[in-house]
């Protein structure tokens, strides 16, 4: 069972805010959780970072939050708690609120910025992802209609790199599959390393060493799936070559995935800057919601999560 008691939705009233609110409220309803809705009243915020509807006072922000709830779900339900927290930045405000209120899942929107603009402005979603004490669900606005409803997922993509981190994510995926009555699509991306001819290496690809690597990967995914504790859900299995971040997003687009559930190793500082993160690349590019698990976070699936998160090997992946 997915032990969700408190869900935090962080909003800045940007495009798609009502759709994210409705999606978060639906998940809270399905799991019996209380939905907390937070607006971070940021001090000294630059004007180019502000949504057009940014409130000028904390009182106005609270009123706007409740109006957002009415627009999204039709009433200010008793199962929703609203809060406005003042802070120097949105990311720390969200994480501090999560710690103070024993939040089990943070839901936050992402604008999908790339390149220099993202480097300069940073990303609240990515900052929360790295600092959060619990799983994070990021939702990017629909590129065609930001205010379009976010449908409950009928299929959930679960990328696996056979590490203990992805094994933990698989447990969450099973629980979410049960919550939404959704099929799981397990995917392993075979990372090919090509060497210049100058190196004098005859074998340039893992396929030169293991021609049947995809079949072996599928067999391993089946074993992981069968060993993972959790409810009974339908699943498919696929292995393909390529770069992990790119292929995960491509698979989601090809199959119309309604959610991606994946792990992050939680790298920070210089190590994170140099290594990067498959998970963050997926978050910046995927149009579907991404549910991110860090295996050292609080467990929402009981001891089963702890058992399975230690059953995989630490082979591969920089997610």
pLDDT band at 260 (very low <50, low <70, confident <90, very high): very high
pLDDT band at 130 (very low <50, low <70, confident <90, very high): confident
Residues 173 and 133 occupy one common structural domain? no
Question: What gap in Å lies between CA 224 and CA 238, rounded to an integer?
Answer: 13
Question: What is the number of domains present in the chain?
Answer: 2
- Helix H segments across 88-156? 90-100, 115-121, 124-131
pLDDT band at 279 (very low <50, low <70, confident <90, very high): confident
262-267-271 Cα angle (round to 5):
140
% of the chain at pLDDT higher than 70: 77
Phi, psi of 144 (to 5 degrees): -90, -40
Residues 129 and 178 occupy one common structural domain? no
The answer to whether position 315 is within a domain reads: no
The range of the structural domain enclosing residue 305 comes to: 155-309
Residues 236 and 185 sit within 8 Å (Cβ to Cβ): yes
Residues 166 and 317 sit within 8 Å (Cβ to Cβ): yes
Q: Is the pLDDT of residue 43 over 60?
A: yes
Residues 105 and 220 occupy one common structural domain? no
Residues 133 and 193 occupy one common structural domain? no
Quote the radius of gyration of the chain (alpha carbons, Å). Answer: 20
- Out of 85, 106, 139, a domain closes at 139
In this structure, of 114-123, 152-161, 185-194, 286-295, the range with the lowest mean pLDDT score is: 114-123
The answer to whether position 186 is within a domain reads: yes
pLDDT band at 315 (very low <50, low <70, confident <90, very high): very low
Structure tokens that stand for 307 in this block: 């058992």
The answer to whether position 163 is within a domain reads: yes
pLDDT band at 45 (very low <50, low <70, confident <90, very high): low
% of the chain at pLDDT higher than 90: 56
Q: State the pTM of this model.
A: 0.85
The answer to whether position 278 is within a domain reads: yes
Structure tokens that stand for 173 in this block: 């995926």
The reported pLDDT for the residue numbered 299 is 73
Q: Is the pLDDT of residue 3 over 80?
A: yes
The reported pLDDT for the residue numbered 318 is 47
The answer to whether position 190 is within a domain reads: yes
Q: Is the pLDDT of residue 208 over 60?
A: yes
- Out of 77, 111, 139, a domain closes at 139
The answer to whether position 149 is within a domain reads: no
- Would the CA dihedral through 39, 40, 46, 49 be positive or negative? negative
Which residues, other chains included, contact 73 with Cβ-Cβ below 8 Å and sequence gap of 6+? Answer: 21, 22, 25, 80
Mean pLDDT of 298-305: 63
The answer to whether position 273 is within a domain reads: yes
Residues 121 and 228 occupy one common structural domain? no
Residues 258 and 184 occupy one common structural domain? yes
Residues 300 and 215 occupy one common structural domain? yes
- Out of 86, 106, 139, a domain closes at 139
The reported pLDDT for the residue numbered 198 is 58
The reported pLDDT for the residue numbered 209 is 76
Residues 88 and 45 occupy one common structural domain? yes
Query: Who wins on pLDDT, 53 or 229?
Result: 229
pLDDT tens digits, 59-114: 999 999 999 999 898 865 667 999 999 998 899 999 999 999 999 999 999 875 55
In this structure, of 164-168, 174-178, 302-306, the range with the lowest mean pLDDT score is: 302-306
In this structure, of 21-30, 31-40, 130-139, 205-214, the range with the lowest mean pLDDT score is: 205-214
The reported pLDDT for the residue numbered 204 is 64
The answer to whether position 117 is within a domain reads: yes
Mean pLDDT of 169-180: 96
pLDDT band at 308 (very low <50, low <70, confident <90, very high): very low
Residues 23 and 72 occupy one common structural domain? yes
Residue where the block lists tokens 């800045």: 12
Averaged pLDDT of the chain: 83
Mean pLDDT of 234-255: 95
Residues 107 and 187 occupy one common structural domain? no
Query: Who wins on pLDDT, 314 or 203?
Result: 203
Residues 271 and 216 occupy one common structural domain? yes
Residues 191 and 70 occupy one common structural domain? no
| Count of Cβ atoms closer than 10 Å to residue 234 Cβ | 11
In this structure, of 8-12, 189-193, 230-234, the range with the lowest mean pLDDT score is: 189-193
Question: What gap in Å lies between CA 219 and CA 177, rounded to an integer?
Answer: 21
CATH number at residue 20: 3.40.50.620
């Amino acid at each position: 069972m997915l032990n969700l008691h408190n869900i935090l939705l962080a909003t800045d009233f940007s495009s798609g805010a009502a759709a994210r609110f409705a999606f978060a409220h639906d998940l809270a309803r399905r799991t019996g959780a209380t939905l907390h809705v937070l607006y971070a009243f940021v001090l000294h915020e630059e004007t180019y970072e502000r949504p057009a509807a940014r409130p000028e006072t904390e009182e106005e922000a609270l009123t706007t939050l409740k109006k957002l709830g009415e627009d999204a779900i039709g009433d200010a339900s008793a199962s929703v708690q609203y809060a406005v927290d003042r802070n120097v930045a949105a990311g720390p405000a969200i994480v501090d609120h999560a710690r103070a209120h024993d939040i089990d899942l943070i839901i936050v929107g992402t604008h999908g910025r790339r390149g220099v603009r993202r480097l300069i402005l940073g990303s609240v979603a990515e900052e929360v992802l790295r600092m959060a004490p619990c799983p994070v669900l990021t939702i990017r606005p629909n590129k065609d209609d930001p205010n379009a409803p976010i449908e409950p997922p009928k299929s959930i993509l679960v990328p696996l790199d056979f590490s203990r981190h992805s094994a933990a994510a698989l447990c969450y995926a099973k629980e979410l599959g049960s919550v939404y009555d959704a099929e799981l699509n397990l995917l392993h991306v075979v990372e090919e390393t090509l060497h210049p001819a100058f190196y004098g290496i005859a074998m340039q690809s893992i396929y030169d060493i293991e021609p049947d690597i995809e079949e072996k990967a599928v067999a391993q995914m089946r074993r992981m799936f069968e060993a993972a504790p959790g409810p009974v859900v339908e699943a498919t299995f696929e292995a393909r070559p390529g770069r992990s971040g790119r292929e995960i997003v491509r698979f989601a687009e090809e199959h119309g995935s309604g959610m991606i559930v994946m792990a992050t190793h939680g790298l920070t500082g210089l190590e994170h800057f140099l290594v990067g993160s498959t998970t963050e690349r997926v978050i910046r590019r995927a149009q579907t919601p991404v549910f991110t698990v860090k295996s050292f976070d609080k467990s929402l699936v009981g001891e089963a999560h702890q058992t399975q998160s230690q059953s995989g090997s630490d082979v591969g992946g920089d997610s």
